[in-house]
Chains A and B, each alone.
Chain A
Amino acid sequence: MATPQSLLDVGTEYQYGFRDEIEYVYKAEKGLSRRVVEMISHMKGEPDWMREFRLRALEIFLKKPMPTWGNTKLLSEIHFDDIYYYIKPAEKQGRSWEEVPEQIKNTFEKLGIPEAERKFLAGVSAQYESEVVYHSIREDLERQGVIFMDMDSGLREHPDLVRRWFGKVVPPADNKFAALNSAVWSGGSFIYVPPGVHVEIPLQAYFRINAENMGQFERTLIIADEGSRVHYIEGCTAPIYSTDSLHSAVVELIALKGAHIRYTTVQNWSKNVYNLVTKRAVAYEDATVEWVDGNLGSKLTMKYPSVYMVGKGARGDILSVAFAGPGQHQDAGAKVIHAAPYTTSTVVSKSISKGGGRTTYRGLVQVDEGAVGVKCNVRCDALLLDEFSRSDTYPTMNVKEDDVRIEHEATVSKVGEEQLFYLMSRGLSEQEATTMIINGFFEPFAKELPLEYAVELNRLIALEMEGSVG
């Protein structure tokens, strides 16, 4: 069996931990103040309503207490005064990679983004620190009226659409970190898909933090108009520093009647990043929203993607996968709110803890009065690879209607000895066998990813597992 030392060694081989020396165009002073917020708004040339929105959000942030639940110890170690809230890496956004500053382009080359774009993406957005430095979308989509741009451009070019929806799904006072994001947001994606348009190939955004003590606060708003479809993928990485960075995003999805949104996240921040994110979707009549949420990196993640089903026949599907190694706490989960009749949802959560890592599933299933004919199924599986790790499951089911069917099941266990024995009898080493079992465990997640991502995921797991057994 594993020894404590070998377990502590794994997870240090984070291959995206490199950092680049960059001359920034602008770097705000450390810390959060009215002046910093006004400066961000001013530099972006924003309309008055957005500046007011930010300043009010700042007041809310300062007033709201820190969460009293979750990992309060790690949360108390965030030093809000020691963070850069805005760093502008480049003068302007590139439309082709040639227009992106050399150093930054090299970073994304190393991360394989341009290659992925050529192979299997319909559009790419690349954010470096606070701003999107590269953006592209296939011309045929643009011709169909699909809008895919960074959030700042969205605000400039589509003010009415933005004002109609911005902060309506996640209002600033929703929670302390949503308020923080609302005050200092920068970058992120703005997507609008016109009625009936199906974007069959994924759109992707990639988020990179490079600076030390960086705070990244992107804001994403996706509106899928009636009968449209879209699949959005995001990925993220950061260098390894001895001090902590903060990533606090707000993502709002609106699926209008009959629309279908799939939102995939492969979160692979380095283990010094706090990842405190609010992701929420609203699904109208017969619309479907899928969250596919994979959390591999970060120090502490707190993220509970939710679907509010407000129209008859709406559907929400959430697949959440988490891997917590040494020093990591993945506090993830899912919320499904059935606010209309005949809405259905499924939640699948899979988590693995090892080397003293901790995974938490926190979930909510709610059925409001009048939401008859609701069906919901929740399934949580957790694997604990050693005796130092921890797994928590905290689901809540709140049902105010009788004609509903809600099922919840969860298990926590170790890797099955019978499975291991079988695979090893076939000539696999214990490590290979364990890796194979874990790959199988994550299979439902991997199969939702484009092939290239799935291969990458398996490689990551193999890397994480190296030296953990034997």
Chain B
Amino acid sequence: MGNTLMTASPAGLERIKTISHHLGEPDWASALRREAWQRFMETPMPSRTHEHWRRTDISHLRLEDIVPTVPTRTPAPPDWLEETIRVGARRVAGTLAFVDGALAYSHVTDSLRKQGVIFTDWAQAVHSHPDIVRRAMEQLDYDPADEKFTAMARAYATGGTVLLVPAGVRLTLPLQTFFTATNATAVFPHTLVILEEGSRVTLLDGLLSPDLPTRAFGSGVADLILGEGAELTYVLFQQWGRGMEYFHHQRAVLGRDSHLTTITVALGASLSKATIESVLCSPGAVSDMLGVVFGDDNQHFDHHTVQLHTVGNTTSDLLFKVALDGQAYSAYSGLIRIEPGAQKANAYQRNENLVLSRQAHAETLPNLEIEANDVRCTHGATVAPMDTEQMFYLMSRGLAPRDANRLIVEGFLQPVLDRISAKSLREMVSAKVDEKIASGRF
């Protein structure tokens, strides 16, 4: 069976070999790539009748024809990216930047290095810390609904970040990585975060590019592993240019008494579909999931969140805010699942949609599956237009309608952005959100 598949599409497999060779990967790493590729080829394309894929049409995608570019040289970050890096540089402990899958910029403070923090690119990590990376990779599960895309991302990943924070190390300054596409038509970002016992860090993953001249494709994965008592704030900032069709799967596994805050900010891409999952599998784990989506023109967003409580005495909270203008479409679906025996699990979920245009289209599907009784689970969802009373009030204070509109949308989204505690990151993200709102038709 494997052989027929290989002859059917040798391009992908050849490309994997080239990448592996070029990066000088150890055997175990290329074996993992091949395994993922095999899985990618064997998994059928998800069908539209599958609940998870009902709201995003992918019938035009020919995944088998897409191959990653081999990062053969070290590119320089484009000017706009250098600017973004420079603005925050003084208030972050480390920055990585990838251009078309190759590491283009790397800066890590001495103090970070001294504390034993590993913050490096994937290609480096498989050499410098093979045991840690290998162990983590071999434990990872594939989500059945997203298997085609996650397997593809793991097979073709070039670039991407590996972050390991040793036990007890609590960083006050955040870390940031940027992943951009200039010439590449396919990107496969990969992030692996391992927080050992009692450690703490904030990481921003920025996926961004200017508008792309041709259609581009991306499939990314982020694996977050939190040890006992660890605290992670993870910001996924997605601002791909138009033309990008991007698929993302983020999965966090929470250890005992650990605390995860994820903040997903989705502004860009023509089509963006993401699964954001927290697995609460040890008592005392707490997961806060936040999201901001702002869509205009005919952008298509499809976000799926999972709060999976496999054991009791765990808590999860979620707030996803979606603002839609133009002909934009957003589907938000969220699952809270409490498994049998997970007593004293508390889970909350809230999705708010602000619809700014008659042609915009919002769907929301907040789901609960509860199999334990000593629990408290609540979800809520709203869809509403611009509040005319607020508008009236602001305009009576002398604001032009355009400014009043902007203020209201910013006011709607800001409470989520305020949860990014690292000031430099919060300011950067808020500025980009405001910029997009301001560029609208208001």
Contacts and interface: CB of A to CB of B under 8 A. Distances in A.
Interface of A: 68-69, 367, 369, 382, 384-414
22 contacts: A68-B49, A367-B383, A382-B368, A384-B375, A386-B373, A387-B374, A390-B369, A390-B370, A394-B367, A395-B366, A397-B362, A397-B383, A398-B363, A401-B355, A402-B355, A402-B356, A407-B382, A410-B378, A410-B380, A412-B375, A412-B378, A414-B373
A408 B356 contact: no
Contacts of B364: 396-397, 408
In the A-B complex, the 3 residue pairs with the smallest Cβ-Cβ separation, listed nearest first, are A384-B373, A393-B368, A406-B383
A389 B371 CA distance: 6
Given A382-B370, A414-B375, A403 B385 contact: yes
Contact of B373 (A367, A387, A406): A387
Given A405-B384, A408-B380, A397 B51 contact: no
A369 B362 CA distance: 12
A404 B362 CA distance: 11
A406 B366 CA distance: 13
Given A405-B384, A408-B380, A411-B378, A397 B357 contact: no
A392 B372 contact: no
In which size bucket is the chain B interface? 35 or more
Nearest to A361: B368
B372 A387 contact: yes
Contact of A384 (B49, B366, B372, B381): B372
B373 A385 contact: yes
A119 to B, nearest CB: 39
B137 to A, nearest CB: 34
Given A412-B370, A413-B376, 10 more contacts: A386-B373, A387-B373, A395-B367, A402-B358, A403-B385, A406-B381, A406-B384, A407-B380, A413-B375, A414-B375
A43 to B, nearest CB: 40
Contacts of B355: 399, 401-402, 404
A402 B360 contact: yes
B24 interface: no
Nearest to B361: A400
Given A396-B365, A397-B364, A69 B380 contact: no
B362 A399 contact: yes
Contact of A389 (B353, B373, B386): B373
B367 A387 contact: no
B377 interface: yes
B13 to A, nearest CB: 34
B343 interface: yes
Given A390-B369, A391-B370, A412-B368, A397 B381 contact: yes
Given A69-B51, A411-B378, A402 B357 contact: yes
B340 interface: yes
A409 B377 CA distance: 11
Contact of B377 (A369, A398, A413): A413
A235 to B, nearest CB: 30
A68 B48 CA distance: 13
A450 B82 CA distance: 73
A390 B51 CA distance: 21
B341 interface: yes
A366 to B, nearest CB: 10
Interface string B328-364: 0000000000001101000000000101111011111
Contacts of A405: 382-385
Most buried by A among B360, B364, B369, B370: B370
Contact of A409 (B341, B369, B379, B385): B379
Nearest to B388: A403
Contacts of A390: 369-371
B376 A411 contact: yes
Nearest to B354: A402
B377 A394 contact: no
A387 B379 CA distance: 21
Interface in B86-115: none
A390 B377 CA distance: 13
A397 B380 contact: no
A352 B397 CA distance: 51
Nearest to A363: B365
Contacts of A397: 362-365, 381, 383
Contacts of A400: 361
Nearest to B384: A405
Contacts of A367: 383
Most buried by A among B356, B365, B369, B373: B373
Contact of B358 (A392, A401, A411): A401
A396 B355 CA distance: 17
A407 B369 CA distance: 20
A400 B366 CA distance: 18
A409 B437 CA distance: 29
Contacts of A387: 340-341, 343, 372-374
A69 B360 CA distance: 29
B367 A408 contact: no
A410 B385 contact: no
A50 to B, nearest CB: 34
A387 B382 CA distance: 31
Contacts of A398: 361, 363
A393 B383 contact: no
Interface string B259-281: 00000000000000000000000
B324 to A, nearest CB: 9
Nearest to A370: B358
A400 B360 CA distance: 7
A393 B353 contact: no
Nearest to B364: A397
A340 to B, nearest CB: 16
A27 to B, nearest CB: 40
A411 B377 CA distance: 5
A318 to B, nearest CB: 17
Contacts of A382: 368, 370
B379 A393 contact: yes
A399 B368 contact: no
Contacts of B365: 394-397
Contacts of A409: 378-381
A387 B341 CA distance: 7
A410 B353 contact: no
Contacts of B360: 402
Contacts of B340: 387-388
Nearest to B363: A398
Most buried by B among A369, A390, A412: A412
B385 A402 contact: yes
A67 to B, nearest CB: 12
